[in-house]
Structure 1
Amino acid sequence: MNKNTKVLALKYRPQIFDDLIGQEVVAETIINSIKSNKVPNAYLFTGIRGIGKTTIARIVAKSLNCLNGIENLCKENLCENCEAIAESRHIDVLEMDAASKTGVDDVRDLIEFSRYGPTSSKYKIFIIDEVHMLSKQAFNALLKTLEEPPEYLKFIFATTEIKKIPITVVSRCQRFDLSRIKSSELFDFIKKIKDKEKGNATDEALKLIVKISEGSVRDALSLLDRALLSLDGEKELDLSVAQKIFGYFDKSQLIEMFNLILKGDENKVIESYRNIYDQGVEPKIFINDFLEILYYFKNINSLTLESTNFSLNDEEFNQIKEISDNINNEVLILFWQFTIKTLSELDIVSNQHLSIEMFLLRLIHIKGFKPKDEDKVATEDLQDPKEKIETNIASKIMNKDTINQIKNVSQEKKMKLDSQISTKNLNNIKIQSFNELVELCSIKKEMKLKYELEKNVNLVKFENCRIEISFNDNLDKDFVKNLSTKLLEWTNERWIISFSKNQGEMSIKDKEKNEQKELIESTKKTDLHKMVMEYFPDAELIDVKLTRKNEDK
């Protein structure tokens, strides 16, 4: 097959270790082991897609079986073995795709085939791609052969999901973790390929390809192939054309939109987003890019232009740095939280486009930022009332304070008693009534005691350091012991708790039920209830809640 008709990923596939990029340590280790004649029974290559797992497996097979030896490994004028291995037709080098042959019977056939020595080379080699796809039974069948194979037999495994391989298999292999290719190395590589192919593309367009490929050489070459094929004649592939081809938009648009959000310009923010949306950018891609920009705004002072992996150019980097100097970190963290929340909301709404617009408007209304160098008082004087409210709300959210909380009567009583207790010696509290005892249990977080006092205890008499009660059958057997211990702890005095044959008062819960029942009955006699029943004859009054105004009366 003519190389010129191949896609770039196949045309420029490495044939020897020197052709590899980004995997120098792995290559050097393997070469040294072959030179020292310390070849492991099995190699295991793991890493993301497109970084050379299967390619290295074939190079290892060539290195072991090349007629010229590892020192003079064939590169262009291939020997018989190297040529056959490169074309996947060597009789002693069997390549198997575990994704299509996952069963134990396939592995048994492999083991049976391994009983016979190589016919035309030094080693018989089994290359199993995506080995994690093998079944549990298949792995078990392979274990014994993998641990003690014949001297002529070698295994080479490749996988993207190392965690799915049983540890018993991993421990029998020499494992190599292939790293993502660094952005600078990948950029130099595809630039050389572009020049060989006589393509016309700017460095900014190539940097976008590097960013999208996420460290995968195959992805980068496939994207470059697609980009070069989309151009006619001498037309240049610049950043704007590449963004249209790959569905990405200019980061400077996002930075400008962020600036408009901080200024509170609703119309221009929405207009800016719609321009981005019209370029074919999906809402989820927009949100993820927005998160990336937020990260840069928050950490720009600790980053360099190179560490952004070509996500930003010089102008964008400096622009973010300038804007970030006037934004508080609390605002950026708050924006991050809202953006993450919106990302999860996109799967719920039917029109994601509208959801993004509402998200941007929400950011405008919760911004509440102030320049770092300005005095707080001066900033408040410059804000209009609406901005002051937004600032306060943002501050409350960040500090997890309660906003305009409405307290009921019982909460206020508890706060009053809590205030009284705080002004006294914590080990010398005076309890003057049964109700104060119940409230104190609540304040002290003794909820079990509080429950028993309210539900299962009937008060007969309450005096200083003495409580006389009656009780029902549900009272906890350790109630008296627990209550006495706590009273001694709280008041620094010993209390006498005695049981009485007298019935005593109703329990607090029973009182509440009776009061509620009486309230319902009295409400049924009102004109309002009669009028409601005329319109809704099947209605039933089951609860009445008094407003604060009625309780004060």
Structure 2
Amino acid sequence: MAYQVLARKWRPRTFAEMVGQTHVLRALMNALSTDRLHHAYLFTGTRGVGKTTIARIFAKSLNCETHGVSDHPCGHCRTCTEIDGGRFVDLIEVDAASRTGVDDTRELLDNVQYAPTRGRYKVYLIDEVHMLTRQSFNALLKTLEEPPPHIKFLLATTDPQKLLPTVLSRCLQFNLKRLPLELIHSHLSHILETEQIAFEPASLHFLARAADGSMRDALSLLDQAIAYGAGQLTVADVSAMLGTLEQGVVYHLLRSLMANDAVALLNNVKQLAESNPDFNQVLADLLSILQKIALAQVLPDSLNSELPEEQMIAELAQQISPEDVQLFYQIGLTGRRDLPYAPEQRGGFEMLLLRMLAFRPVNAAFSAPETAKPTPSRTMADAPRPVAATTVTHVPPTAAAVPEKKTIVKTPPVSSPVSPAPITPTNTPNNTPAHSPAKNQVLTLNNPEDWLHLVKQLPLGGAVRQLALNCALTQVSGHTLHLQLAKDSEMLGVGGRVSELEKIILNYCGQPYHIEIHITQQLNTVTVAELQHREQNEYEQQLKVQIQSDPFVQSLQQRFGAKIMRIQANKNGENS
């Protein structure tokens, strides 16, 4: 007897033998058992997931001589055996890929009006129905919508997007899913045990992954692997047949990345290059492992402890941080897109791995950011900036930006040009920030300028800050501060802002102070807002002089007639 390939030998004959697709089988079996049958069914899904197989079983269920219309055909009557052998006269199978013309469709429909020869129903099984032309669909529409009672249409396609909406609306559509890797693995194991073929369980994992959700592809690869291994399956033989690498090689690469060992990493690539692999596939395997590690870190129970690969994934998930996993995955995903543009695959793959090392953060930066120091492996952008740190120390967040700009113009000095206000005693701890509360201290406001220094040091914000900026100190009597406010700014002193300012001063010095606001037509002294405006103008004038005296700017003005323009930044930091 001639050898029959596994894909045909192990093709399901009943719904009970089907692997997966329970959501489709349940609907069909319930329809058969309750005799609620539609006239047209559409099965969609990728290749090898069971579309044609389910259609043939459905045809047997409709025409079984022993059980009649039921969800469990006998499989032994003449009708069932003829359908299994492809000889049943009332099951008309059409390959739409080879019969796309409208004439073929009309010829097919000429016999629709005639009753079935032997069966209960005449079944039209049209495979790859999306290959039909628009004219063929139009010829089919009327019959598809109102067929004779003895006609059933079973349509199958891998690309339902190409079907006309008018066709889709006339069919019950069932979408068959890709089969999970574990389901394919277990089914292949069952077949090999039944066929009494020796195999290594890990080898089936490679076959199931290469099948990409298709059981027919898995069975075809299994046939090829059995022939390649002379009747047995080993990991080495299956890897060589598929042209894939052993997972241990990819794990060595990942361990070198985790150890931050560039020398070992390049040595691994050198050894890998001796087998002339497809580095794009190596990168894909590395990304697959990183994805599984990330999943294991979030859901440890999702791993199968019986598989060696899953055990290694669980071990790596405990040794690498989630941040590194995400970084490696993102760099690898972007690098896979750019890998074809590299002068050679190996060089592009090496640069990608070195990029993972170069951009990997120093662990100390996560554990102790305040003590982290720049190391040779870090970029200059990661190094601490003393100027920025000094500015933060001497200028509170609520202070104006004018002193900072003066500091930038005068490059040598770092501290703020405005001297600190004499509001705290000399024994203030050195580690106390300028804007932090100084408890149990008495304000020493001897002149109106002291109020300017106090406002710059208080943690003010919003409308309270505007009130303080537009007030001028006129007198201090005990714990009462007498402030002047211009008539046109009178609305700043309403809504409880005065009491809120008193609370801020209380929190700052630890003692209560009462504030009295006196509304006047004209202020007798300068306010903080006016001082800021004055300093801003002085800064802009200095900056303008520096720009105008720059030789390069002067040459642009002379050669091109360039003009110096002032650009005002809005509150969002954007130029307008």
Q: What's the TM-score bracket when you normalise by the shorter of the two chains?
A: 0.5 to 0.7
Give the counterpart of 1:178 among 176, 179, 182: 176
Give the alignment of 1:394-433 within 5 angstroms.
416=405
Superposed displacement of residue 150, structure 1: 0.1
AA in 1 matched with 2:247? K
Superposed displacement of residue 152, structure 1: 0.7
> What is the match of residue 240 of structure 1?
236
> What is the match of residue 74 of structure 1?
74
- What is the aligned length? 419
Query: Does 1:368 find its partner at 2:361?
Result: yes
AA in 2 matched with 1:355? G
Rounded Cα–Cα distance in structure 2 between residues aligned with 1:284 and 1:173: 42
Rounded Cα–Cα distance in structure 2 between residues aligned with 1:222 and 1:252: 26
Give the alignment of 1:93-112 within 5 angstroms.
93-112=91-110
Rounded Cα–Cα distance in structure 1 between residues aligned with 2:349 and 2:208: 28
Rounded Cα–Cα distance in structure 2 between residues aligned with 1:85 and 1:390: 74
* Cα deviation code 1:402-449 (max 9, x no counterpart): xxxxxxxxxx99x949999xx89898999xxxxxxxxxxxxxxxxxxx
Give the counterpart of 2:349 among 340, 350, 356: 356
> What is the match of residue 261 of structure 2?
265
Query: Does 1:32 find its partner at 2:25?
Result: no
Rounded Cα–Cα distance in structure 2 between residues aligned with 1:190 and 1:208: 11
Rounded Cα–Cα distance in structure 2 between residues aligned with 1:312 and 1:338: 27
Superposed displacement of residue 8, structure 1: 0.9
AA in 2 matched with 1:74? C
Query: Does 1:389 find its partner at 2:379?
Result: yes
Structure 1: segments with no counterpart, 5+ residues = 397-411, 431-489, 492-507, 523-540, 546-553
Rounded Cα–Cα distance in structure 2 between residues aligned with 1:83 and 1:390: 77
Q: Do the aligned partners of residues 427 and 306 (structure 1) sit closer, same or farther apart at CA in structure 2, a change above 3 Å counting?
A: closer
Superposed displacement of residue 358, structure 1: 1.2
> What is the match of residue 149 of structure 1?
147
Superposed displacement of residue 105, structure 1: 2.4
Give the alignment of 1:202-241 within 5 angstroms.
202-232=200-230, 236-241=232-237
Q: Do the aligned partners of residues 21 and 260 (structure 1) sit closer, same or farther apart at CA in structure 2, a change above 3 Å counting?
A: same
* Cα deviation code 1:352-378 (max 9, x no counterpart): 221101111121222123169843456
Rounded Cα–Cα distance in structure 1 between residues aligned with 2:227 and 2:65: 39
Superposed displacement of residue 113, structure 1: 2.4
Q: What secondary structure is seen at the aligned counterpart in 2 of 1:113?
A: coil
* Contact 2:297/2:318, CA 8 A, preserved across alignment: no
> What is the match of residue 508 of structure 2?
none
Q: Do the aligned partners of residues 64 and 279 (structure 1) sit closer, same or farther apart at CA in structure 2, a change above 3 Å counting?
A: farther
* Contact 1:53/1:158, CA 8 A, preserved across alignment: yes
Rounded Cα–Cα distance in structure 2 between residues aligned with 1:296 and 1:109: 53
Rounded Cα–Cα distance in structure 2 between residues aligned with 1:309 and 1:279: 31
* Cα deviation code 1:197-216 (max 9, x no counterpart): 22111111112222222322
Rounded Cα–Cα distance in structure 2 between residues aligned with 1:372 and 1:314: 31
AA in 1 matched with 2:74? C
Q: What secondary structure is seen at the aligned counterpart in 1 of 2:94?
A: strand
Give the counterpart of 1:139 among 134, 137, 140: 137
AA in 2 matched with 1:126? Y
Q: What secondary structure is seen at the aligned counterpart in 2 of 1:346?
A: helix
Larger radius of gyration: 2
AA in 2 matched with 1:240? A
Rounded Cα–Cα distance in structure 2 between residues aligned with 1:299 and 1:35: 42
Superposed displacement of residue 13, structure 1: 0.8
> What is the match of residue 17 of structure 1?
15
Give the alignment of 1:141-540 within 5 angstroms.
141-232=139-230, 236-304=232-300, 306=302, 313-324=309-320, 327=321, 329-370=322-363, 374-376=367-369, 380=372, 385-389=375-379, 392=382, 416=405, 519=555
Q: Percent identity?
A: 31
Aligned-pair RMSD on alpha carbons?
A: 3.9
Q: What secondary structure is seen at the aligned counterpart in 2 of 1:125?
A: strand
Rounded Cα–Cα distance in structure 2 between residues aligned with 1:95 and 1:311: 43
* Contact 1:99/1:133, CA 8 A, preserved across alignment: yes
* Contact 1:94/1:126, CA 8 A, preserved across alignment: yes
Q: Do the aligned partners of residues 41 and 390 (structure 1) sit closer, same or farther apart at CA in structure 2, a change above 3 Å counting?
A: farther
Rounded Cα–Cα distance in structure 2 between residues aligned with 1:141 and 1:83: 33
Rounded Cα–Cα distance in structure 2 between residues aligned with 1:278 and 1:345: 23
Superposed displacement of residue 287, structure 1: 1.8
* Contact 1:262/1:367, CA 8 A, preserved across alignment: no
> What is the match of residue 46 of structure 2?
48
> What is the match of residue 533 of structure 1?
none
Q: Do the aligned partners of residues 204 and 520 (structure 1) sit closer, same or farther apart at CA in structure 2, a change above 3 Å counting?
A: closer
Normalising by structure 2, report the TM-score: 0.64
Superposed displacement of residue 542, structure 1: 8.1
Q: Do the aligned partners of residues 83 and 188 (structure 1) sit closer, same or farther apart at CA in structure 2, a change above 3 Å counting?
A: same
Rounded Cα–Cα distance in structure 2 between residues aligned with 1:204 and 1:305: 20
* Cα deviation code 1:279-332 (max 9, x no counterpart): 4531221222222222233332223465579996243123212212xx2x4443
AA in 1 matched with 2:188? I
Rounded Cα–Cα distance in structure 2 between residues aligned with 1:390 and 1:316: 37
Structure 2: segments with no counterpart, 5+ residues = 386-400, 409-415, 419-455, 471-528, 531-543, 564-576
> What is the match of residue 127 of structure 1?
125
Rounded Cα–Cα distance in structure 2 between residues aligned with 1:64 and 1:372: 70
* Contact 1:41/1:153, CA 8 A, preserved across alignment: yes
Q: What secondary structure is seen at the aligned counterpart in 1 of 2:233?
A: coil
Superposed displacement of residue 155, structure 1: 0.3
* Contact 1:287/1:339, CA 8 A, preserved across alignment: yes
> What is the match of residue 485 of structure 1?
none
* Contact 1:251/1:316, CA 8 A, preserved across alignment: no
Q: What secondary structure is seen at the aligned counterpart in 1 of 2:111?
A: helix
Rounded Cα–Cα distance in structure 2 between residues aligned with 1:247 and 1:299: 27
Normalising by structure 1, report the TM-score: 0.66
Q: Do the aligned partners of residues 223 and 66 (structure 1) sit closer, same or farther apart at CA in structure 2, a change above 3 Å counting?
A: same
Superposed displacement of residue 170, structure 1: 1.7
Q: Do the aligned partners of residues 312 and 346 (structure 1) sit closer, same or farther apart at CA in structure 2, a change above 3 Å counting?
A: farther
Q: What secondary structure is seen at the aligned counterpart in 2 of 1:90?
A: coil
* Contact 1:366/1:391, CA 8 A, preserved across alignment: no
Greater shift after overlay, 53-62 or 243-252?
243-252
Q: What secondary structure is seen at the aligned counterpart in 2 of 1:154?
A: strand
Rounded Cα–Cα distance in structure 2 between residues aligned with 1:143 and 1:206: 45
* Contact 1:42/1:173, CA 8 A, preserved across alignment: yes
Superposed displacement of residue 52, structure 1: 0.6
Q: Do the aligned partners of residues 185 and 337 (structure 1) sit closer, same or farther apart at CA in structure 2, a change above 3 Å counting?
A: closer
AA in 1 matched with 2:202? E
Moved >6 Å (runs of 4+):
308-312, 417-420, 423-430, 515-518, 541-545
Where relative contact order (Cα < 8 A, 6+ residues apart) is larger, the structure is 1
